[in-house]
Structure 1
Amino acid sequence: MSGPTVRDAVLALLRAHGITTIFGNPGSTELPLVRNFPPDFRYVLGLQESVVVGMADGFAQATRNAAFVNLHSAAGVGHAMGNLFTAHKNRTPLVVTAGQQARSMLPFEPFLYSAQATELPKPYVKWSCEPARAEDVPLALERGYHVAMQEPRGPVLVSIPADDWDRPAAPVVVRRVAQTTRPDAALLAQLGAALDACTRPVFVIGAAVDRGGAWDPVVALAERHRARVFAAPMSGRCGFPEDHALFAGFLPPLRERIVELLAGHDLVLSIGAPVFTYHVEGFGPHLPEAASLWLLTEDPTIAAWAPVGTALVGGLQPALAELLERPAPPPRDAPPLRSAAPHIAPPPPGERLSVAFVLQTLAALRDPASIVVEEAPSARTVMQRHLPFTCSETFYTMCSGGLGWGLPAAVGIALARPQAKVIALIGDGSSLYAIQALWSAAQLQLPMTFLILNNGRYAALQDFAPVFGFARDEPVPGTALPDIDFVGLARAQGCEAQRVKDAASLAEVLRAALAAPRPTLIDIEVA
């Protein structure tokens, strides 16, 4: 067949949007896309579709551009759904394609077809489509790219029948679509006046601050108003330097505790975060009685369901710029300093390492510009005291609470940021949801470090059990994880690996792993 095809038009479209990496695990219906694969593209293989989407999520966050994902029909989308849910919660722009059987076969329910391809990924994609004609596929992907990149960003899915790729198609006229909107001017002026007039302001900073490049203006605004700054509950990014004198710590996902921590402040400004993310049922007010709440968000849905406060929807950068242009407010006293984290002594010989000692050691050894990708839920509160982050775009975790994201996302971030040291800080239970990502890291020869905090159980569940009526030391069925050889798993997939059991060798092994030029896993036995 002569003339440009759907495949030609799609590849040209991707190039025009700066996308030359495809993440996938191909099946039969995807083979026409990769035939005569162009030399300026690379195909990053994941050994399971959840790994594929996790790598693409990390890559998209690190590049600030949509990533292209290639999945296999209904089964592949099903495998990927956990990390599609996380990409949705992370507000990560992904253009996901899913293979479909040839159009002429669809009336006969062929093997490996998707019966309701556009419904399967909902509600965790912003838009899904199976084009009515083959020649409409490039236009659908062009639309999908812009939908994915519009705030709030997120994944989209296009189902593509296998025989569409070789059909004739005209080139797509690539468009540029402005993404940033300005919040309402009158409300923004009211917020500025309220900030000037209040006596004890506090800021709550969410993932959208770092995601939207608003780190520096947030720091400037906090300093201008001498506002205390908390990180929002369950935030997937670090949006404020944790060694700053104004940083007050992390809000937990508990209604009553949030009210307690915000007590004494007369104005709460939430920037790039929901108000608020809760994990267990709570009662009573959402704010201290005397406090007013203002919400700056790029997400109109968050603005709509916020239970209290005045919400301004729009780009964070233009909103913060306008607030910073106002005349200087009256001087205020500085808020109290956050207490310093206590120094943790090494355990006696023969005792397991504490998570706090491990993270304190890592904090002393890592370059502050290195990137930590965390998925160790039971260690998170300890990390928040003993492993501070002081630079923009140096911390990532999932906003969803779903496991299986951290390992592959770290691989995607390392692929996008080859000059940075990427450290994956993963719990032993979490790692097993996507352990195949180690193979991708080895094949790509990424100089990254995997740290497994191995406590031999799903510790987060054991720690959480008293909330649901368990006695403090009562064992929870189905949470023990004995006899897993993480060193063997890593070596079998091509990574260097070592086990650490004692404080005497921890620093030396960590230092070597952080300097290693290839992927290295350290299995750290912790209490």
Structure 2
Amino acid sequence: MPINPTPSGAAPLLEKVSVRAAVLDLLRGFNITTMFGNPGSTELPLFLDFPADFRYVLGLQESVVVGMADGYAQATRNASFVNLHSAVGVGHAMGNIFTAHKNRTPMIVTAGQQARSILPFDPFLFSAQATELPRPYVKWSCEPARAEDVPLAIARAYYIAMQEPRGPVLVSVPADDWDKLTERVLPRVVSTESRPEPRVLEQIGAALDASARPAFVIGAAVDRGNAWNEVLQLAERHNARVWTAPMSGRCGFPEDHRLFAGFLPAMREAIVSLLGGHDLIFVIGAPAFIYHVEGAGPHVPPGATLVQLIDDPTIAAWTPVGTSAVGSIRLGVLDLLARPAPAPRALPAPRAALPRAEPSAPMSTAYVLQTLAEVREPASIVVEEAPSARAPMHDYLPILRSETFYTMCSGGLGHSLPAAVGVALARPGARVIGLVGDGSAMYSIQALWSAAQLRLPITFVILKNRRYAALQEFAPAFGFRPEDPLEGTALPDLDFVALAKGHGCDAVHVGDAAQLHEVLRQALRSTGPILVEVDVA
């Protein structure tokens, strides 16, 4: 979709204004009036005479700041603006910059730099290689050669961040640049999507029409690319079984749909087994495939053909087999829908129904998630980071609507608790549920303070199993026996009710299955943030 800047009402370009005024006016034109940051000394000049129409969202640690900005950008479908301190601030933020890179989140990261006049003397708190520090996890990074070029660099950064595949960018700005005089830069209309090559789409369309038993594998780029409805229509046209790709950070298909088959694990042999019996595998908006452990053998079942529609040419380049079309997911699927309808084919067998999870002491994660599914509204937004709960979540907490599920595509912890804050900021009035494991929560617990200060309607559900359970479950893949000790995975003595209240957030503990339904029901009605700590087995 093209970038549609709003008229800025700016004076003619030749009028000289401060770099600060030029950048703020440019951001207004891009509909960016919220800044996320944790400022240091070199960032202060940006905030002189801070305008009333801008909002500054403070986070208590730089990684938290980037996580909030990630959720905000994904939920608004526009680039977010982040202001970080120089080298050390960017260093603190790198974990979630990496996640933003994997999430394909458009984000303009500005980093302070010491004044140009003292850079030759290696001053305190300067960044020696400011443009290299965030690489390779930004699409572009720049420290403008002149102060007058800062607005142009911000403009270029925005267009690059918004171009598919989207992602974060970084601009390093010396502290004394903001007061220099420069010319205004007006926003432009720049296309952000490209149409896949018709010749390649024709091959994919013909393969779909000829297939007897097609399967779709849906990835994060479907919902990210605003293609949920189009992919649903295409799946129904072909009566294709639909799987979710491994490690997908978004939901791209209603999980209660008749055609939904389930979730693929990040293991080569397991993927081949689950897709067995299909003669065509159509991967839409996802890598083919993400693996987490070493595997062997074919990448698709014997006799099956793989085709792919992906917005990232880098992913298409390493896809090991098959045909890949590169471009906008939405535009590519629309072109496939424009083809004549194929011959009717029978519906595939439905997904087997699961037994209900029953209450126990301590509660199972499945029971907690089943209860949450029963009390939440389908339109509520789940922001998840509970790796050991991912399998029961897939079974007992179905996602039913577009733009109601977010998690990290990177596997790096510390994203989703602050991302829930960013999503809630971007979607006023929506109920946001931050579903987070106890180990994950401790990477970015400071986000509770931001949620409390902003009085956001977020229900944080902490699944407390007192360990890094994902590591213990993964250990057998590396030769550990059940009786072998696994160092560094126990998490005793964490009190999330106390931690939440210490950050100004309401909180309640649940250890009894009989109380869970009512506690969650009340928490989902709160007008401000509340944390529910739930003991699970």
Aligned to 1:120: 133
- Give the 3 Å change call, closer, same or farther, for CA 11–480 of structure 1 in structure 2: same
Instruction: Confirm or deny: 8 A CA contact 2:16 2:183 kept in the other structure.
Output: no
Q: CA deviation at 1:322?
A: 1.4
Q: 2:317 aligns with which of 304, 327, 351?
A: 304
What is the one-letter code of the residue matched to 1:426?
V
Deviations 1:149-200 (A, max 9, x none): 0000000000000000000010002111011111111111121111111100
Q: Describe the SS at the equivalent of 1:153.
A: coil
Q: 1:23 aligns with which of 36, 41, 50?
A: 36
Aligned to 1:106: 119
Q: Does 1:458 align with 2:471?
A: no
Q: Does 1:193 align with 2:206?
A: yes
Q: Distance in 2 between matches of 1:280 and 1:16?
A: 46
Aligned to 2:356: 343
Instruction: Confirm or deny: 8 A CA contact 1:125 1:155 kept in the other structure.
Output: yes
Aligned to 1:272: 285
Aligned to 1:413: 423
What is the one-letter code of the residue matched to 2:227?
A
Q: Describe the SS at the equivalent of 2:292.
A: coil
Aligned to 1:202: 215
Deviations 1:45-98 (A, max 9, x none): 000000000000000000000000000000000000000000000000000000
Q: CA deviation at 1:278?
A: 0.3
Q: Does 1:160 align with 2:173?
A: yes
Instruction: Confirm or deny: 8 A CA contact 1:88 1:125 kept in the other structure.
Output: yes
What is the one-letter code of the residue matched to 1:509?
V
Q: Distance in 2 between matches of 1:186 and 1:94?
A: 33
Q: Does 1:510 align with 2:520?
A: yes
Deviations 1:329-358 (A, max 9, x none): 1111110100112101111xxx21100000
Instruction: Confirm or deny: 8 A CA contact 1:462 1:475 kept in the other structure.
Output: no
Q: Distance in 1 between matches of 2:442 and 2:193?
A: 39
Q: Distance in 2 between matches of 1:418 and 1:454?
A: 29
Instruction: Confirm or deny: 8 A CA contact 1:462 1:476 kept in the other structure.
Output: yes
Q: Distance in 1 between matches of 2:265 and 2:429?
A: 34
Q: Does 1:369 align with 2:379?
A: yes
Q: CA deviation at 1:201?
A: 0.3
Q: Distance in 2 between matches of 1:26 and 1:146?
A: 25
Q: Describe the SS at the equivalent of 2:500.
A: helix
Q: Does 1:173 align with 2:173?
A: no
Aligned to 2:366: 356
Equivalenced residues, count: 523
Q: Distance in 2 between matches of 1:342 and 1:416?
A: 37
Aligned to 1:86: 99
Aligned to 1:65: 78
Deviations 1:453-486 (A, max 9, x none): 0000000001111111111243311111101110
Q: Describe the SS at the equivalent of 2:514.
A: helix
What is the one-letter code of the residue matched to 2:281?
V
What is the identity percentage for the equivalent residue pairs of Structure 1 and Structure 2? 69
Q: CA deviation at 1:3?
A: 4.7
What is the one-letter code of the residue matched to 1:370?
S
Could you state the TM-score of these two structures normalised by the residue count of structure 1?
0.99
Give unpaired runs (5+ residues) of structure 1. Answer: none
Q: Describe the SS at the equivalent of 2:524.
A: helix
Q: 1:333 aligns with which of 320, 325, 346?
A: 346
Q: Distance in 2 between matches of 1:513 and 1:441?
A: 15
What root-mean-square deviation, in Å, do the aligned CA atoms of Structure 1 and Structure 2 show?
A: 0.8
Could you state the TM-score of these two structures normalised by the residue count of structure 2?
0.97
Deviations 1:108-160 (A, max 9, x none): 00000000000000000000000000000000000000000000000000000
Give unpaired runs (5+ residues) of structure 2. Answer: 1-14
Instruction: Confirm or deny: 8 A CA contact 2:33 2:55 kept in the other structure.
Output: yes
Q: Describe the SS at the equivalent of 1:343.
A: coil
User: 4+ residue stretches of structure 1 with deviation over 3 A?
Assistant: none
Aligned to 2:9: none
Aligned to 1:233: 246
